[in-house]
């Protein structure tokens, strides 16, 4: 197996373009959390001409709703949620310069097209590996929509957060490639 | 009559909620480890290695193995000679409330349209039945949405028969891809009526992973469906591989001469369930 590629957000187009579907990465730096309810508010805010609670340019969004932190914990268990639920909102954020998303499961064509257009990458983390992934999160702070509880937007500081490139910016698709390799059914 | 206090039910339910979130049952842990040994894809193997490391950390440190600690689903069997001093639903919901709060579990239940979180993971989904005896048996199976969302129900035409059933199962798993966090357990409910097929599919998931249906024809179907599903190549997390499902469990029940209901309930690898008898 090849060594993981180190990623340190914010990232630029050149960083995106060297990532290929199937590459393993370790992310170190700041990433932001948002899932369905937060995305809905972000896009409604854009519709009203408002300013987002954080600048998405060059950033990565992690689709996660963690469990509450126990005393002494930075964050509770924090694995990825199903990304497809964010498909309706993601192209808007990509157009503003969002460079990547971290989740699980497939994206729709609109998102994949927007990723090619705006040069962005989609990573998967291992679904259900929430206690393990939480170990790479060193700091967590709610920066918006606290009333959404687990769905609030958090700013996370991560060290060697493990993920894998599923969709790159030139049409590479790990789900497609991986399944084709192991498919035995017609 | 044997008296059972509602407070006791609440206490047991609270322990079930916290215990299930942090400890993968031994049958599931063994199935995931066997998948790790069998998986042919190096990446799939690595993913399964992370899944094993994760549930070991969770069990050791008392942490939820998945952040989606689920909507709380209970199957309760109440002995007809057990007399409770309060409402079963109230007692169970209070246990959920306490367990999800004190156990630092995620509250994942909201109004279906307004999407406002109820704040305490209630109401629980409670399926109760009256049985012989004076005991109360509580089975808890928290259900995450990633896998639940990929579940399907279809009213087939009787003419579609066994071929139609197999095709529906395979198509549902293919469509689900990596979304439900494979390797999955597939519960298939065949027959009954609309809602009963769904109940059969859910009950099928409560069996120990890989324990065959005692009916020879159905256990044969389970084996065949498992092979068909694993031939899809979806693999751990959908990254491609030879283990897409750990097991397929089928339950069947007579149905109307004009109907063939089939329900498929998908369960992720974090197949949490725990039971207690009072």
Predicted confidence (pLDDT) per residue in A135-169, tens digit: 999 999 999 999 999 999 999 999 999 999 999 99
User: Within 13 Å, how many C-alpha atoms sit on residue A164's CB side?
Assistant: 24
Say what percent of chain A tops pLDDT 70: 99
Residues of chain B with pLDDT under 50: none
Residue of B nearest to A132 (CA): B54
- Selecting from A76, A164, A179 the residue whose C-beta is nearest the C-beta of B233 gives A179
- Answer for the pair B244, B173: CB distance below 8 angstroms, yes or no: yes
Determine which one of A39, A107, A119, A154 is catalytic.
A39
> Which ipTM was obtained for this model?
0.94
Structurally, what CATH architecture does the domain formed by A5-182 represent? Alpha-Beta Barrel (3.20)
Domain B2-20+65-142 has CATH 3.30.360: yes
Give me the residues of A, 143-182, that contact B with CB < 8 A. 148-150, 162, 164, 166, 174-175, 177-182
pLDDT score at A1: 54
A70 and chain B in contact, CB less than 8 A: yes
Residue B142, min C-alpha distance to chain A (Å)? 14
| Beta carbons within 8 Å of B214's beta carbon, 6+ residues apart | none
Sequence-ordered list of residues with C-beta below 8 angstroms from that of A38, at least 6 positions apart, any chain: A144, A145, A148, A151, A152, A153
Question: What CA–CA distance (Å, rounded) separates A98 from A58?
Answer: 5
**Across residues A17-28, what is the average pLDDT?**
97
To the query of whether residue A118 is one of the catalytic residues in this protein, the response is no
Whether A184 contacts chain B with CB within 8 A = yes
Nearest to B67 among A66, A84, A149 (CB): A66
Nearest CA distance, A30 vs chain B (angstrom): 20
Confidence band for A185, pLDDT divided at 50, 70 and 90: confident
Identify the three-state secondary structure at position B135.
Answer: coil
| pLDDT of amino acid A3 | 87
A106 touches chain B (CB under 8 A): yes
* pLDDT, position B248: 98
Q: What is the pLDDT of residue B195?
A: 97
Q: How does pLDDT run across A30-67, given as a tens digit for each residue? A: 999 999 999 999 999 999 999 999 999 999 999 999 99
Q: Residue A2: its pLDDT value, please?
A: 73
Strands (E), chain B: 2-4, 73-79, 82-84, 125-131, 136-140, 152-156, 184-192, 245-255, 260-267, 274-277
- From chain A, the residues in CB contact with B46 under 8 A are 1
Q: Do the chains contact at B51 and A126, CB–CB below 8 Å?
A: yes
Instruction: Answer yes or no: do B146 and A81 touch at CB < 8 A.
Output: yes
| SS3 call for A86 | helix
Distance from CA of A67 to the nearest CA of B (A): 5
What residue of B is the nearest CA neighbor of A65?
Answer: B67
What are the structural domain ranges in chain A?
A: 5-182
pLDDT band at A95 (very low <50, low <70, confident <90, very high): very high
Return the domain boundaries, chain B. 2-20+65-142, 145-271
Mutate to test the interface with B, among A3, A23, A178 (most CBs of B within 10 A): A178
Sign of CA dihedral B35, B33, A73, A9: negative
Asked if A103 reaches chain B (Cβ–Cβ under 8 Å), the answer is no
CA A176 remoteness from chain centre: 19
Closest among B63, B62, B69 to B121, alpha carbons compared: B69
Q: What is the pLDDT of residue B5?
A: 95
| Cβ <8 Å between A185 and B42 | no
Peptide bond just before B220 cis, omega within 30 deg: no
Say what percent of chain A tops pLDDT 90.
97
| Inter-chain CB pairs, A–B, below 8 Å | 167
Mean pLDDT over residues A63-79, rounded?
96
> Could you tell me which residues come within 8 angstroms of residue A16 by beta carbon, excluding any fewer than 6 positions away?
A99, A100, A119, A120, A121, A168, A169
Burial class (CB within 10 angstroms; exposed 0-12, middle 13-18, buried 19+) of B157:
exposed
């Amino acid at each position: 197996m090849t060594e993981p590629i180190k990623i340190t957000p914010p990232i630029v187009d050149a960083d995106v373009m060297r990532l290929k579907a199937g590459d393993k990465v370790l992310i170190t730096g700041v990433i932001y959390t948002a899932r369905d309810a937060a995305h809905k508010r972000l896009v409604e805010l854009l519709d009203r001409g408002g300013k987002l609670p954080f600048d998405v340019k060059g950033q990565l969004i992690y689709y996660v709703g963690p469990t509450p932190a126990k005393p002494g914990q930075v964050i509770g268990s924090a694995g990825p949620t199903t990304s497809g639920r964010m498909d309706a909102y993601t192209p808007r954020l990509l157009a503003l310069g969002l460079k990547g998303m971290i989740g699980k499961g497939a994206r729709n064509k609109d998102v994949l097209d927007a990723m090619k257009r705006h040069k962005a990458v989609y990573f998967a983390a291992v679904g259900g590996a929430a206690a393990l992934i939480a170990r790479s999160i060193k700091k967590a702070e709610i920066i918006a929509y606290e009333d959404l509880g687990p769905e609030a937007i958090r700013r996370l500081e991560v060290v060697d957060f493990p993920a894998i490139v599923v969709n790159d910016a030139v049409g590479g698709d790990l789900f497609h490639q991986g399944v084709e390799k192991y498919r035995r059914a017609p | 009559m044997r008296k059972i206090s509602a407070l006791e039910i609440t206490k047991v339910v609270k322990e079930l909620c916290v215990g299930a979130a942090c400890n993968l049952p031994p049958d599931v842990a063994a199935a995931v480890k066997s998948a790790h040994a069998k998986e042919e894809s190096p990446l799939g193997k690595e993913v399964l290695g992370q899944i094993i490391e994760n549930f070991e950390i969770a069990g050791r440190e008392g942490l939820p193995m998945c952040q989606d600690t689920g909507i709380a689903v209970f199957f309760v069997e109440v002995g007809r000679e057990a007399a409770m001093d309060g409402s079963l639903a109230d007692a169970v919901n209070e246990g959920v409330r306490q367990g999800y709060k004190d156990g630092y579990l995620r509250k994942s239940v909201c109004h279906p349209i307004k999407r406002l979180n109820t704040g305490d993971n209630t109401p629980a989904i409670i399926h109760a039945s009256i049985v012989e005896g004076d005991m109360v048996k509580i089975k808890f199976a928290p259900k995450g949405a990633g896998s639940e969302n990929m579940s399907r129900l279809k009213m087939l035409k009787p003419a579609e028969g066994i071929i139609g059933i197999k095709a529906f199962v395979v198509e549902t798993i293919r469509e689900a891809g990596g979304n439900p966090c494979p390797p999955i357990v597939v519960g298939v409910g065949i027959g009954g009526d609309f809602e009963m097929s769904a109940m059969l599919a859910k009950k099928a998931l409560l069996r120990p992973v890989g324990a065959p249906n005692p009916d020879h024809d159905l256990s044969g179907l389970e084996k065949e469906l498992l092979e068909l599903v694993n031939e899809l190549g979806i693999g751990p997390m959908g990254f491609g591989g030879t283990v897409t499902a750990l097991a397929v469990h089928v339950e069947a029940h007579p149905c109307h001469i004009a109907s063939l209901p089939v329900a498929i309930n998908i369960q992720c690898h974090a197949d949490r369930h725990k039971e207690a008898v009072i």
